[in-house]
Structure 1
Amino acid sequence: MKAIMTKIFHLMTLGLVVLMLQACGIPELIIKNEDTHLPDSFKPGLSEQENTAKVKWKDFFEDSNLLRLIDIAVANNKEVNIMMQRISVAQNEIQARKGAYLPFVNFGSSASGEKTGDFTRNGAVENNLQITQGQAFPTFLGDYQFGLFSTWEIDIWKKLRNAKQVAVLEYMASKEGKNFLVTNLVAEVAHSYYELLALDNQLENIKQNIAIQQNGLEMVKQLQLFARTTTLAVKRYEAEVAKNQSKKYEILQQITVTENRINFLLGRTPQPIQRASTGFMDIKPKFIKAGIPSHLLQNRPDIRKAELELSAAKLNIEVARANFYPSFGIKAGVGFDAFALKYLINTPESLAAMIAGELVAPLVNKNAIIAEYKNSNAKQIEAAYEYEQSIINAYTEVANQLSNIDNLDKNYHLRKKQVDSLVQSIDVANQLFKSARTDYLDVLLTQRDALEAKKELIETKQKQIIAMVDLYKSLGGGWQ
C-alpha cells in the first residue's frame, strides 16, 4: 500500500512540474477592452426615450404596394437565402463541437494473418514450440477481432466546452448578420420603389412641359404667318420640343432599370412593378423619434453582431491558451479476439478488454501553439476595434440623417415657392410675347427654368422620403 501511495505522489509531483513548465511557456498578451462610450444625445436639445427603430417595417411603411414588395423580398431574396444556409452551418458547428467533449464509441472489426520469419524473435519461439511439443505451428497465424472501442478526452481546462461556446456565439452573430442584411434589403427596396415613383412624376412633368412647348410652337407659327415673328423663333421652339422628347426616353430607360433592380432584389426575373405614383408629391415624411444614442447598442443588428464576434474572439483566447496545458484522454475497448475464426466467439476464452489513460503535453517546439495563441489575441483586438467602429459609424449615420432631414425640409419649402413663381411666370411671359412686349427667348427660358425647378422639386421630395427611410435604418429598424 505504501509503495502505491509513493507512486501516486511521484506522479502528482511530475504532473505539477509539467504544469509549471507549461505556465512558464505562455506568452504575456494584452487584451483590449472595448470603448462603448457615446454622447448623451444626437444633437443638443434632443433627448427622447421613445425610439422608432422598434416599430416593425410592416407598421412603418403605409404604401400597400411597397409592403407587398418588401414581403416578397424578405422571403425570396437570394442573399437572404444564402445567409440562412450560413446560419444553418453555424448551428451545425455547435452540434459538432458539443460532441467533441463527449466520449466517442465505435464498433469495429478486423482480420489479418501473419507469417513470422524463422530468424526473428517470434520465429525462434515458434520453432522452439514445434521442437518441444512436436506440433507444427501455423504458417500464417491469424488475428480476428471485433468489439466496441471508446476514446474520451477529459476536458479539464474547458478547452472543448469553450470552443462549443464560441460556436454558439458565432451562430448568434450569424443570425444578427442576417437581421442586418434584412435591414439593408428593406431600405434598398424602399429606396428603389420611391425612386420609381419619382421617375414617374419626372416623366409626367416632362410630358406636361412638352405639351406647353408644343402649344407655344403652334402659337409662334401662327404669329409667323402674320409677320409677328421670324423663322428663328419657330426653329428654336422646335429644337426645345425635340430636346425634351429625347429626355422623355431617357427617363423611360431609367424606369426600366429601376423596375429591374427591384425585381432583382425580389429574387425574380424582370416584370412590371405595381405602384401608385399620383400622390407622390403629397407624401409627408414620417416624424421619427431617434431615442438616445445608447439605444443603438440594442437596436442595430450590426453592432450586436460585432459584440458577439468580440465575445467569441475573447473566448477563443482561452481555447488557444488551453493548448499549452496537458490533455488527458482515456481509451477503452471490449470485444472478442482469437487467432482462428472457430474460436472467435468462445466465452470467456476469447473475451478481450483494454483500458488506458494518456497524458500529452507540448514541451519542445511550441511555435505553432504560440503562433495560434498570438493570432487569437490579435483577432480579439481586431474585433474590439471593429466593434468600436460599428458604434461610431452608427452614431454618425443617425446624426447625419437627422441633420439631412432638417435641411431637406427647408430646402423643399423654398423650392416649392420657386416652382410656384416660375409656373405663374410662364403665363405672364406668354401674354407679354403675344402683345410683342418681350422676346420669344424669354418665354423659352422661363419654360426651361420651370421644367428644371419642378424636376429639382421632385428630386428633393425623393431625398426627403429616402432620408426618412435611412434614418429608420440607421436607428436599427427594418429587420423585425
Structure 2
Amino acid sequence: MKKKTSSNRFVRWGLWAIAFLPSACTLPPQFVPSAENRNVPATFPAVAQDTLTTAKVAWKKFFTDQNLLVLIDTALRNNQEVNILLQEINITQNEIRARKGEYLPFVSINAGAGVDKVGKYTRSGAVEENLEIAPETKFPEPLPDYMLGAFASWEVDIWSKLHNAKRSSLLRYLATVEGRNFMITQLVSEIANSYYELMALDNQLDILRKNIEIQTNALEIVRLEKKAARVTELAVKKFEAEVLKNQSRQYDIMQQIIEIENRINFLTGRFPHPIQRSSQTFNDLVPDTVYAGIPSQLLYNRPDIRQSELELEAAKVDVKVAKANFYPSIRLTAGVGFQAFNPSYLFTTPQSLIYSLGGELIAPLVNRNAIKANYYSANSRQIQAVYDYQQTILTAYIEVVNQLSNIANLRRSFDLKTKQVAALTESINISTYLFKSARADYMEVLMTQRDALESKFELIDTKKQQMNAMVNFYRALGGGWR
C-alpha cells in the first residue's frame, strides 16, 4: 500500500516538473476559514449551566393535545413543501451517483454498419485500384463496413478532482436532508401556533357573545331608566351603539377563525375542512417547563446550523475541485472488437480483430481566464458560506435568548392581567348597582363594560402568546424534527 502511494506521489511530481510547474505556481491564494466560527457563549443569560435540553424531546411527547398531534402527523405526510424537499433529496442523491461514476472507467459497446464509395482519383481510390490483383479479390464498390466492439475511457484522478466532486455532492445531499429537518421544525411550530391562535379566537368569540348579552341587559335597564325620566335618549343610543359595535365585531372574529382554519388546512395539504379542537380548556392550559441546555448544543440540535455547516464544508471541497482544474489531467482510452467489409468475415481472427490503446495528457497553458474565474467564484462562495454559517449560529442564539425572556415576561404579565380581569368583572356589577341607585351615570357603566371586555380579550391574547412562546422556544432550540 505504501509503494502505491509513493508511486502516485512521484507521478504527480513528475507531471509538475515536466511542463506545468511554472503556470501552477501562480495560483491565487486559497481562503481558509477560521476555527473560531464555531465559538458560542458558554451559557444563556440568567440560565443555570445545565445540559438538559427540551430540543431532544420528540414532538409527539412535547405536545399533549391529541387534536394537535393528529394535525401535525397529517401535515408531515401531506404538506407539499415537505414532499418537494423529499424530491430535492432524491435529486442530490442522484448527483452523488453521477459524480461517483465519473471517476470510474466508462465502457460502451458499439455496433455499426455502413457503406463507403470513394472517388477513383482520390488517395483511397488509388490505393484500392493498386491493390486489385484479380477480379475475385477486387474491392466491393461501394465498400461495406461492419463493426462490433467494446471501448473504454478513464480519466486518472491523480489530483482527486473527481473524488472531491463526489464528496461535495455527498455533503450537499446531507445538507438537503438537514434542510428538510429544518422545514419540519418550522412546519410543526407553525401548525401548533395556528392551533393555539384558533383556540384563542374561539374563546374571544365566546367572551364577546357573553358580553353582548350583558350589554343587551344593560340596554334594557337604560331604556327603563329613560321611561322613568332618570336618563335621556342619549344614554339609550350610547348603549345601543355599543351593542351593535360588538355584534359587528363578532363577525370579524368569525372571519379570522375561517382564515386560520384554512391556513392549517393548507399546511396539512387538504381543502377547507373543520378543525377539531377543544377550545373550552384553553384557559386551563399551562405552558410546559422547557429547558434551554447550553448554547453549544445548538450546533447539533438545530438542523439549519448543521445544514449551513455542511454547505460550508461542500464549499471548501468545491475550491479544491476548482483548483485541480489548473493541473494536467490524464485520460486513458482502449478498445477491442471486430471489423470487416463482409459479415461472414466479421468474427474471423486475427484478420478482423481490431484494438486500440492510448493516453492523453491535457492541461491549460494559455488563456486560463475561465478556470481562474471559476476558482475565484468558488473561493467567494466559500467566504459566503462562512458568513452564512456565522449568521445562522448568531440567529439561533438570539432566538433562544429572546424566547427565554419572552416566557418569563409573559408569565408575569399573565398573572397581573388575571387580577385585572377579576377586578373589572367585579366592577361591572358595582357600576350597574350604582347606576340603578342613581349614584353613577351611564358613561361609567359603559366604560366599565368596555374595559372589562378588553381586559378579557387581552388575557386570552396573553395566554396565546404564552403558548406560542413555548412553541417558538422549542423550535429555537432545534426541537420538532425528531
Shift of 1:49: 1.3
How far does the alpha carbon of each residue in 1:155-213 deviate from its partner, in whole angstroms, 9 at most, with x for none? 11111111111111111000000000000000000010000000001001101110100
The 5 A counterparts of 1:438-453 are 438-453=440-455
TM-score by length of 1: 0.95
Matches for 1:269-348 after TM superposition, within 5 Å: 269-348=271-350
Aligned mates of 2:270, 2:188 — CA distance in 1: 16
CA–CA distance in structure 2, aligned partners of residues 40 and 153 of structure 1: 49
Cross-structure match for 1:232: 234
Alignment gaps of 5+ in structure 1: 1-8
Partner secondary structure for residue 447 of structure 2: helix
CA deviation map 1:281-320 (0-9, x unaligned): 1211111110111110010000000000000110111111
CA contact (8 A) 2:15 2:328 kept: no
Note the C-alpha offset of 1:15. 6.1
CA contact (8 A) 2:113 2:146 kept: yes
Q: Is the 8 A contact 2:226 2:232 kept in 1?
A: yes
Would you say the 8 A contact 1:31–1:377 is kept in 2? no
Moved more, 410-419 or 390-399: 410-419
> SS in structure 2 opposite 1:176?
helix
2:431 maps to 429
The TM-score normalised by the length of structure 2 is: 0.94
Q: Which amino acid aligns with 2:81?
A: E
Structure 2 distance, partners of 1:19, 1:459, is 71
Paired residue for 2:29? 28
What is the match of residue 222 of structure 1?
Answer: 224
Deviations 1:386-415 (A, max 9, x none): 000000000000011111111111111111
Deviation larger for 95-104 or 441-450: 95-104
> How do 1:237-276 residues align onto structure 2 when only pairs under 5 Å count?
237-276=239-278
Structure 1 pair 271–89 and aligned structure 2 pair: CA distance change class (3 A): same
Report the Cα offset of residue 42 of structure 1. 1.2
Indicate which of 77, 81, 84 corresponds to 1:82. Answer: 84
Partner of 1:397: 399
Separation in structure 2 between the aligned mates of residue 199 and residue 14 of structure 1, nearest angstrom: 74
Q: Given that residues 337 and 350 in structure 1 are in contact (C-alpha distance below 8 angstroms), is that contact kept between their aligned partners in structure 2? A: yes
Q: Report Cα offsets for 1:209-258 as digits up to 9, x if no partner.
A: 10100110111122222222222221111111000000011100100000
Q: In structure 2, what is the equivalent of residue 184 of structure 1?
A: 186
1:109-120 mapped onto 2 (5 Å cutoff): 109-120=111-122
Equivalent residue number for residue 152 of structure 1: 154
CA drift of 1:338 comes to 0.9
User: What's the C-alpha RMSD, in Å, of the aligned pairs?
Assistant: 1.8
In the other structure, the counterpart of 1:107 is: 109
Provide the rounded CA distance (Å) in 2 between the counterparts of 1:136 and 1:275.
94
Deviations 1:109-155 (A, max 9, x none): 1223222333332233233334x667654332232211111111111
- Which blocks of at least 5 consecutive residues in structure 2 are unaligned? 1-9
Q: Which amino acid is 2:17 matched to?
A: L
**Which shows bigger deviation, 113-122 or 438-447?**
113-122
**Given residue 89 of structure 2, which amino acid in structure 1 is its aligned partner?**
I
Counterpart check, 1:53 vs 2:55:
yes
Q: Give the structure 2 partner of residue 206 of structure 1.
A: 208
Aligned partners of 2:234 and 2:46: how far apart in 1?
59
Among candidates 111, 117, 123, match of residue 121 of structure 1 = 123
Q: Take 1:469 and 1:261, find their aligned partners in 2: how far apart are those partners? A: 18
Equivalences, count: 470
SS in 2 for 1:290: coil
Greater Cα shift, 11-20 or 361-370: 11-20
Distance 1:137 1:62, change over 3 A: closer
When residues 14 and 82 of structure 1 are mapped into structure 2, their CA distance, relative to the original with a 3 A threshold, is closer
The alpha carbon displacement at 1:434 in A equals 0.3
Residue type matched to 1:373 in 2? Answer: Y
Instruction: Check if 1:165 corresponds to 2:167.
Output: yes
Conservation of the 8 A alpha-carbon contact between 2:218 and 2:239: yes
